Structure 1
Amino acid sequence: MQQLKSFRRVRAITFFILVVFALTIAVLLRYSFVHERDSSRSDLRVGSDIVTAVMEQQLRETAAALANLERLDREYTVGSLDFPGLQNQLASTKSLVSGVSNLVLLDADGKVIGSTADNLINGNFAFRYYFQEAIQAPVGQFILSPPFRSSLRNTRRFTLSRAIHTADGSVQGVAVASFDTSLLTQLIELQLNRDRGQGISLALAHADGEPILRVPEQEGFYDEILNRPRSPFATHLASGREETQTEGKPHEQSPTALLNLRTIAPEGLNISAPLVVVSAYPKSNAYSDWRLITSITIAAYLLLAGGIVFLLRNERDHLIQERDIRLKLQTQSSRLASIIEGTNVGTWEWNVQSGEVVFNERWAEIIGYSLEELEPASIETWMKYAHPDDLETSSQLLHKHFSGELPYYECEARMQHKDGHWIWVLDRGKVASWTNDGKPLWMFGTHQEITERKLAEEQASHLAYFDSLTNLPNRRLLDDRLEHALAQAQRNGRTLALMFIDLDNFKPVNDTWGHQAGDQLLIEVSRRLKQNVRASDTVARTGGDEFILLLPEIADTADAEIVAQKILLELRKPIELHEGIQATTPPSIGISVCVSGLTDGATLMKQADLAMYAAKHAGRNCYRIYEPNLTAKALKETPLSNEQS
């Protein structure tokens, strides 16, 4: 009866939690919607910032260029600058201004007197908008023309022009700069590349609504006027604000979108009309992720609520079953206690479904605690002290045992001792009982300390693959890594190199100052070799004064030569032995580079050995690279004495 009351109380609390959870989900979804909207607007603002910054810079640079053209016009008029000089100055000025395709000087009648495009010389453009508006504008005002289509590149361009006045205020001529939007288009495409497929677009338009460019292109876009009545474009300009965040259709053919409209009118420049950047993000795209998350969240909540109701219905039957099993287990545990006490192993009893765990005193003693210090005990106690890497292995083995793949569970794992060091334990166990639906319920097992055995195994394993003096990989480990590197090179088309190093003066050092000095020298050489290679390279000692370097990933032979040169420089430096004694052991180095199709490590090793002997014959203290004509027979024609090696 008491269990039933507790069950009803838990059920009421669970239903209350479900209601609170539903309200929390609603609040979070609302928050995520606002966040998604703000994030989308931020994405739009980034594109507008870039276009605004580029265009403001281009307008300022172009305004400065036009001022320079005004000076050139006066010099040309008074004869201090001839026509070739004028053309050269125009070309130099154009090269300093980004985004400008042409600079033109016109006289008071509209005739071209100078241009960076030679085909325009002597042409008359008095009928052009940029000339007509410039000669009528107030002194000092720049005229920003509506866009027009260029016949050369089939792109839309616009101009910035300003009249040149004489001292009495009459018009002497007009300076004109023509903008090429192709570079700006490429810049916008690069910015939008990371958002490809999301539907964000950027457009640039004249204040009168004439579109200049749109990225990406859209059919019919350039046939519309953006400044239509009550449009977002018109509303933005009427507001006088520099930036407007709104929603709507940027033009008639587009879907409803989040919009960012930005006016480009550089401060300090008297420009007749501004430019407007229009960034658009279709709402169907901007909120697609949020709609998907909302659908999944609601579906997940409904599944969770339904699952909880189902679990609550089965909880009462489970409680009754667990009570009966507990009584049986208590009887069995009392029988086993006496047996376990004499084995000096830790024991554990685990309720897999609830996480409840019972340990004996020895289990706690193994890791340096008393049982009271670990209370309250649960499966979290084991997880707290076990090494994270071993926990994953333990979990995998447990699942295999639960699924029937393994007859019992057994895992070697590390646990952190109270003193801070790690010990090894052998963890064994088996499921003793199952629930009605086939899930593991109670599991029993033991802990046995195996630290000394594991340390002995690790030491034996280390000695099998590493040199005991220098702690470098030995020949056995080198052969294994070489085989692996050759397979990788064959599979991925990479280049590797093998470097055979022999110390030229090691024997005299050993004979003169003894083996202790020789060992000290070998240890220092090993340290220097490791300092001059990458972590992915292997430095191995294969015997006596012989070392081998494996360079598994190099671009070409030149990379191996660079390493050899570094080693030569390093080993030419004196090595401090004992009592102020110094020794120098310059090496002879042989290099073999893996060619296409070579998969035999022994052949590569032999080639490096032959190249090393070639280095000795070349006078030592140098390196040589194996070549096909370098044969053992050729080396034997001038043999080395043992004393020289």
Structure 2
Amino acid sequence: MSTQGHKPHRRHEYLAPRLALAAGLLIAGCFIGYSMYQQHGRIGQRESERLAIQANVINENLGRQLDGIYLALQGIRKELPGWKGKSGTELANRHLRALADAMPGVRTIMIIDAAGSITFCNREQVIGQNVRYREYFQAPLKGQKLSALYISPPFKTILGNFVISIGLIIPGPNGEFNGVVSAALDPEYFRILLGSVLYAPDMWAALAHGDGRQFLMVPERKGMAGLDLNRPGSFFTSHRESGLEANVMTGRVYATGDERMMALRTIRSGTVAMDKPLVVAVGRNMSALYADWRR
């Protein structure tokens, strides 16, 4: 009888430590879960800031590049009156060759008359060709802004290269449209520039025209050059519709279909108006980004 009377007391003796252990495990689990949650957030914040910095590196570099191209095109425009006659043609082409060779990122410099014919160029094989139908001629012709840089969507040139052209209107005696002086960007230079900001194997960077046409991607992927990114729900469209110069976003990439954290930045010249900007995107794969955290 006395033994039976002590049984409930012994149950309580075992129950208290078990409850304490369960409470301790629960607290430890909550602490670990909260710590992992915090660590996840810190990883995301760190990568967000780092990607934004890399995108801004491209922005600052290209911004200065655009300023330099504008000054070069402006200088050519001032020299034009002295390039008349046969001797002037030889002088002009020689000057354009030297200028293109001295400017990193510029592949071709040409002067186009009011009818759309190439009159001077550092690549003599295209002189005489008519490019009136090209967007890089039509945009300045229709825009009529003498001080603006006209940024063409990416296109394939007469020589078969995929480029973006930057143009400046040549005014006539009364300020009327009298042609275009333009510089075509060298994609190889910009591949090197984009590649310089990649710090992890899962990263890629891309450069697009402000209307959404992709210029290039690094590392290069088949079918990406010329892809139209201006699609509902794409990173490009979300960035443009935000009205902000810089964004960091996460989600599925329209161009590649994978989940990424992307930093996007709108690129403009710091000194001159542009009819269209450029947009750079730098991103990381989400699975790779959090791989260490999942372990």
Identity %: 25
Instruction: Answer yes or no: is 1:169 the counterpart of 2:175.
Output: yes
> Quick check: 1:250–1:280 contact (8 Å CA) kept in 2?
no
SS at match of 1:290: helix
> Quick check: 1:65–1:97 contact (8 Å CA) kept in 2?
no
> Aligned partners of 2:276 and 2:196: how far apart in 1?
28
- 2:164 is aligned to 158
CA RMSD, 1 decimal? 2.6
- 2:110 is aligned to 104
- 2:5 is aligned to none
- 1:25 is aligned to 32
Residues 431-471 of structure 1, C-alpha deviations (whole Å, 9 max, x = no match): xxxxxxxxxxxxxxxxxxxxxxxxxxxxxxxxxxxxxxxxx
> Quick check: 2:67–2:271 contact (8 Å CA) kept in 1?
no
2:108 counterpart letter in structure 1 = N
What displacement does 1:149 show?
2.8
> Aligned partners of 2:21 and 2:219: how far apart in 1?
53
Distance 1:239 1:16, change over 3 A: closer
- 2:242 is aligned to 239
2:288 counterpart letter in structure 1 = N
- 1:549 is aligned to none
> 2:225 pairs with 203, 222, 227, which one?
222
- Give the TM-score of the pair, scaled to structure 1: 0.41
Instruction: Answer yes or no: is 1:50 the counterpart of 2:53.
Output: no
1:158 counterpart letter in structure 2 = I
SS at match of 1:60: helix
- 1:291 is aligned to 294
2:290 counterpart letter in structure 1 = Y
Residues 367-421 of structure 1, C-alpha deviations (whole Å, 9 max, x = no match): xxxxxxxxxxxxxxxxxxxxxxxxxxxxxxxxxxxxxxxxxxxxxxxxxxxxxxx
Instruction: Answer yes or no: is 1:248 the counterpart of 2:254.
Output: no
- 1:195 is aligned to 200
| Higher RCO structure (Cα 8 Å, ≥6 apart) | 2
Distance 1:57 1:224, change over 3 A: same
Equivalent residue pairs, number: 280
SS at match of 2:36: helix
Distance 1:23 1:270, change over 3 A: same
Distance 1:155 1:93, change over 3 A: closer
> Aligned partners of 1:215 and 1:47: how far apart in 2?
14
- 1:182 is aligned to 188
Larger radius of gyration: 1
> Quick check: 1:163–1:174 contact (8 Å CA) kept in 2?
yes
> Quick check: 1:47–1:202 contact (8 Å CA) kept in 2?
no
2:250 counterpart letter in structure 1 = E
- 2:4 is aligned to none
> Aligned partners of 2:169 and 2:74: how far apart in 1?
10
Structure 2 alignment gaps of length 5 or more: 1-14
SS at match of 2:293: helix
What displacement does 1:14 show?
6.9
What displacement does 1:178 show?
0.5
Instruction: Answer yes or no: is 1:131 the counterpart of 2:134.
Output: no
What displacement does 1:60 show?
1.0
Kindly report which structure 2 residues correspond to 1:517-556, keeping only aligned pairs within 5 A, or say none: none
Residues 602-640 of structure 1, C-alpha deviations (whole Å, 9 max, x = no match): xxxxxxxxxxxxxxxxxxxxxxxxxxxxxxxxxxxxxxx
> Aligned partners of 1:213 and 1:51: how far apart in 2?
14
1:76 counterpart letter in structure 2 = W
> Aligned partners of 1:37 and 1:150: how far apart in 2?
42
Structure 1 alignment gaps of length 5 or more: 1-7, 293-645
> Aligned partners of 1:72 and 1:246: how far apart in 2?
46
> Aligned partners of 1:84 and 1:171: how far apart in 2?
25
What displacement does 1:11 show?
9.0
1:261 counterpart letter in structure 2 = L
> Aligned partners of 1:123 and 1:224: how far apart in 2?
27
> Quick check: 2:169–2:180 contact (8 Å CA) kept in 1?
yes
Residues 94-134 of structure 1, C-alpha deviations (whole Å, 9 max, x = no match): 23422000111122222222111111222222222111221
> Aligned partners of 2:257 and 2:242: how far apart in 1?
23
